[in-house]
């Protein structure tokens, strides 16, 4: 008799904090080790001790570079984890930028909070979640793997990374656990991309799993079709820049969404649907991620490759400015019309985007384009939900700019895409867990799975444990 324990450490009934602990008689490993984001409880959950001893973890399998999947890796290592972290080569490259940037933010935010605490006569300083030095140490534990090649991170564990089509380097991970009678296969969908999404290839097909963990970020809805999405995007930009004579502000994740937008804007410019574009990418990490994307041309889809070739040969490409230093970023706030500013963070909760929102939200001439998922508790979610006034840097800002939610640009599969992906399974998995979604979204996907396949799917709670015997 063999046994397996699966603990849902995060992304259970919520979107962020993706992490799963797998324990067998011979191995103990994690799939993802993500940071919780959004809401008042996120910092507390990030700071809580792990529900296991990090020293006992043999290895980590990482689906992709986004911080809600990778952001607690430096804390895991700081608490004693010394094993390898397996990920794709593109993910490893992106983490060189992202984890150090995350650590820098942790240090700066803690410094600011400690100054505030001292002003209130507190004598106890907070420590950052982790430091830049700790992030740099974690990067030495990365082991890059290729797509579609079996690896053996442990004598009793075989796995394979398949293209998830979400962001550069993202992966679906197939894991085979050796048992006394053969093996059991667990599939972690990671974040599944939308077929036809810019830049990346479509998600790989998986045909079999004994245990399936499937994401449900958009498990309760359908995205607008790409043609309608493009029409909405073109109208919003032209209406703002030409007719209203304002600015277009786009909160965007530095990795993935920013590159998607740049390729899309270039392609629309090439088609003549947009003219005289003046684009500012105000995020040093987005600049670095764009450079990394260009280093992995083999992973790009056909349309992105064609757009890249056109950019390299056409002198009339749109003007794209990558903003690095703070002074140049601050100068953008003096521009009152005619520019598109793409900036992080994607959920508007930190970073330079908050400054651009502060200066443009109260102006009717301007538009805010929301192009990605906004978690509960974030500033971006409040804007999407129709807030008339928001607080930024302690100041109440009236929301007079137009808010456009361009859902069709999401890098996540919608409900129909998720069901279509599951239709390739040749038989029913023994167990299906719906994860990585706000509770109602997960319920909706579980219901449609049952209606479509007559398969029952469970929605685990955070820190719940599933035990299997074979």
Going edge to edge, which strands form the sheet with 171-179? 151-154, 157-163, 171-179, 182-188, 211-215, 431-435
Same domain, 209 and 95: yes
Model's pTM, two decimal places?
A: 0.89
Q: How many domains does the chain have?
A: 2
Sign, Cα dihedral of 200, 190, 255, 444: positive
Calculate mean pLDDT across residues 325-336.
93
Res. 199: pLDDT tops 90: no
Residues 363-410: pLDDT tens digits?
999 999 998 888 788 899 999 999 999 999 889 999 999 999 987 888
Q: Which of 59, 68, 203, 217 is nearest to 141 (CA)?
A: 59
Q: Which of 111, 147, 116 is nearest to 127 (CA)?
A: 111
Highest mean pLDDT among 58-62, 121-125, 287-291, 313-317: 58-62
Q: Which two tokens stand for residue 63?
A: 């689906």
Residue at a domain's end among 390, 409, 428:
409
Q: Which of 278, 355, 343, 286 is nearest to 317 (CA)?
A: 278
CATH number, residue 115: 3.60.15.10
Same domain, 217 and 232: no
Given this model, what pLDDT does residue 316 score? Answer: 58
Given this model, what pLDDT does residue 315 score? Answer: 66
CATH number, residue 366: 3.40.50.10890
Res. 117: pLDDT tops 80: no
Same domain, 288 and 215: no
Same domain, 217 and 172: yes
Calculate mean pLDDT across residues 312-339.
88
Same domain, 369 and 395: yes
> What percentage of the chain exceeds 70 in pLDDT?
99
Given this model, what pLDDT does residue 27 score? Answer: 96
The band of 198, judged by pLDDT with boundaries at 50, 70 and 90, is confident
Same domain, 14 and 87: yes
Residue pointed to by tokens 């689906």: 63
Given this model, what pLDDT does residue 179 score? Answer: 86
Range of the structural domain that residue 93 is part of? 3-221+411-469
The band of 30, judged by pLDDT with boundaries at 50, 70 and 90, is very high
């Amino acid at each position: 008799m063999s046994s397996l324990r699966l603990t849902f450490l995060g992304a259970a009934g919520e979107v962020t904090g993706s992490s799963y602990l797998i324990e067998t008689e011979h191995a103990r490993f994690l799939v993802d080790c993500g940071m919780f984001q959004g809401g008042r409880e996120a910092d507390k959950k990030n700071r809580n001790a792990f529900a296991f001893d990090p020293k006992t973890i043999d290895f980590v399998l990482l689906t992709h570079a986004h911080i809600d999947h990778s952001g607690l890796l430096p804390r895991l290592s700081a608490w004693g984890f010394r094993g390898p972290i397996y990920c794709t080569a593109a993910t490893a490259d992106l983490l060189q930028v992202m984890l150090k940037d995350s650590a820098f933010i942790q240090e700066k935010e803690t410094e600011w909070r400690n100054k505030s605490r001292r002003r209130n006569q507190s004598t106890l300083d907070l420590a950052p979640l982790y430091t830049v030095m700790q992030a740099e140490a974690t990067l030495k534990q990365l082991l890059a793997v290729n797509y579609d090649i079996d690896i053996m991170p442990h004598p009793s564990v075989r796995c394979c990374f398949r293209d998830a089509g979400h962001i550069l380097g993202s992966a679906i991970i197939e894991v085979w656990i050796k048992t006394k009678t053969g093996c059991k296969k667990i599939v972690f969908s990671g974040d599944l991309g939308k077929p036809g999404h810019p830049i990346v290839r479509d998600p790989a097909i998986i045909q079999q799993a004994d245990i399936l963990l499937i994401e449900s970020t958009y498990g309760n809805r359908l995205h607008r079709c790409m043609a309608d999405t493009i029409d909405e995007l073109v109208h919003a930009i032209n209406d703002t820049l030409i007719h209203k004579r304002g600015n277009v502000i786009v909160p965007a994740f530095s990795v993935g969404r920013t590159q998607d937008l740049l390729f899309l804007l270039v392609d629309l410019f090439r088609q003549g649907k947009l003219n005289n574009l003046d684009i500012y990418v105000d995020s040093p990490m987005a600049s670095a991620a764009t450079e990394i994307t260009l280093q992995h041309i083999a992973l790009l889809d056909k349309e992105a490759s064609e757009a890249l070739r056109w950019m390299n040969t056409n002198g009339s490409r749109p003007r794209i400015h990558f903003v690095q230093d703070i002074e140049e970023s601050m100068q953008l706030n003096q521009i009152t019309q005619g520019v598109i500013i793409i900036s992080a963070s994607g959920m508007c909760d930190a970073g330079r985007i908050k400054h651009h929102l502060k200066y443009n939200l109260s102006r009717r001439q301007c538009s805010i384009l929301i192009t990605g998922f906004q978690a509960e508790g974030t500033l971006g979610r409040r804007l999407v939900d129709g807030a008339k006034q928001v607080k930024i840097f302690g100041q109440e800002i009236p929301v007079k700019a137009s808010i456009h939610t361009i859902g069709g640009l999401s890098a996540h599969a919608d409900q129909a895409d998720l069901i279509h992906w599951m239709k390739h399974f040749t038989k029913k998995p023994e167990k299906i867990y719906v994860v990585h979604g706000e509770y109602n979204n997960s319920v909706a996907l579980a219901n449609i799975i049952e209606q479509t396949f007559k398969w029952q799917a469970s929605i685990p709670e955070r820190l719940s444990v599933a035990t299997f015997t074979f």
